[in-house]
Structure 1
């Protein structure tokens, strides 16, 4: 399954398994772990495995996430957004301005690299010697690529009870982000149908 840095960033807000919402970036330690676990996705910035987040970097990443989740909410409209932070999102204009400004912190010029016997690929060389700024800019560019690409049309907010994730729809009938959410949604529908039937049955009173 394809992985997108922007979607993974948005998914740091998730259901905690107990009826609440967990934030994987709630602490600097959590942010460090998240960055290092996704070093393979952030190929156009310094080795993410060597970055240790402090409170300032954590705050910068969470503000970028807020912008990304705002634009994800716009992308799935008129369907409802994830309920996790729907009341705390930026305006669309603020989110766009923030995303673009973070991406612009690292000036890069795309370079084509085409080794013999291999496929061509794009490199983004940078003279900036600041791993944290390069990380933030890479995350912002990844979000721009995601939102301007075809996967935006397939972005959905999972509607399963208690789920707060966004996901990219991989086939025509997909309604939920993962099978466990589908099971939970079907169980909830069954429960509601049973109670509606019971409430309407005079023999039950």
Structure 2
């Protein structure tokens, strides 16, 4: 299954399994673990050499707020994730923040062309601070995601208690994962049973 860094960032706010919501970025340690788990270290920085701190954590959280606000716009007119629907920044604020974060890392294109091969291009960073590079890379990934074809398949899971966004793998997919589908179907069955009981049509 394809993974998108922007979707993974948005999914750091998730259902905790007990009816509540948890935040994978709630602590510096949790943030460091998430970065390592996602494999999103800046190019050229060996694993284990990015020392996360509170400023980096807050920078990633601010970017997540912008991404989730733009995800809410992308799924509209369907409802956004209920986790933060009541406190989203405006789309204009989110766009401005996303673009600022991406612009903080100056990058230059470089071409390689081996004698026996074909030319390839890559971007090299002119930024020294790995924290800036990391947040900028996440911002660019969000720009790529939201400007790409997967944006039209982005959905907010409607299963009870779920707060995740997901990309539809087929046109009829309603939930982010099978367990959410099972929970949603059980909730529908329960509502039908209650309605039938209230109407006096349930079997005795």
TM over 0.5: yes
1:192 and 2:187 matched? no
Across the aligned residues of Structure 1 and Structure 2, the Cα RMSD in angstroms comes to 2.2
Structure 2 match to 1:141 = 140
| 1:27/1:121 CA distance change after superposition, 3 Å | farther
Please say if 1:86 is aligned against 2:95.
no
**CA deviation string 1:131-173 (max 9, x = no partner):** 1000010000000000000000000000000000000001111
* Alpha carbons of structure 1 residues 151 and 128: separation in structure 2 relative to 1, 3 Å: same
Instruction: Give the superposition deviation at 1:113.
Output: 4.8
Alignment correspondent of 2:23: 23
TM (norm. structure 1) is: 0.92
Deviations 1:75-103 (A, max 9, x none): 00000000000111111111000000000
Query: How far apart, in 2, do the equivalents of 1:17 and 1:154 lie?
Result: 26
Report the equivalent of 1:69.
Answer: 68
Unaligned runs of 5+ in 1: none
Compute the displacement of 1:122 (Å): 4.5
Asked if the contact 1:13–1:22 (Cα under 8 Å) also holds between the matched residues in 2, the reply is yes
Distance of 1:116 and 1:156 partners within structure 2: 47
Shift of 1:51: 1.4
Q: Which residue of 1 aligns with 2:125?
A: 126
Distance 1:28 1:175, change over 3 A: same
Please state how far the C-alpha of 1:123 moved relative to its aligned partner: 1.9
Deviations 1:48-81 (A, max 9, x none): 6421211111011000000000000000000000
Where does residue 161 of structure 1 map in the other structure? Answer: 160
Size of the aligned set, in residue pairs, is: 204
SS of 1:74's partner is helix
Change in CA separation of 1:126 and 1:178 when aligned onto 2, cut-off 3 Å = same
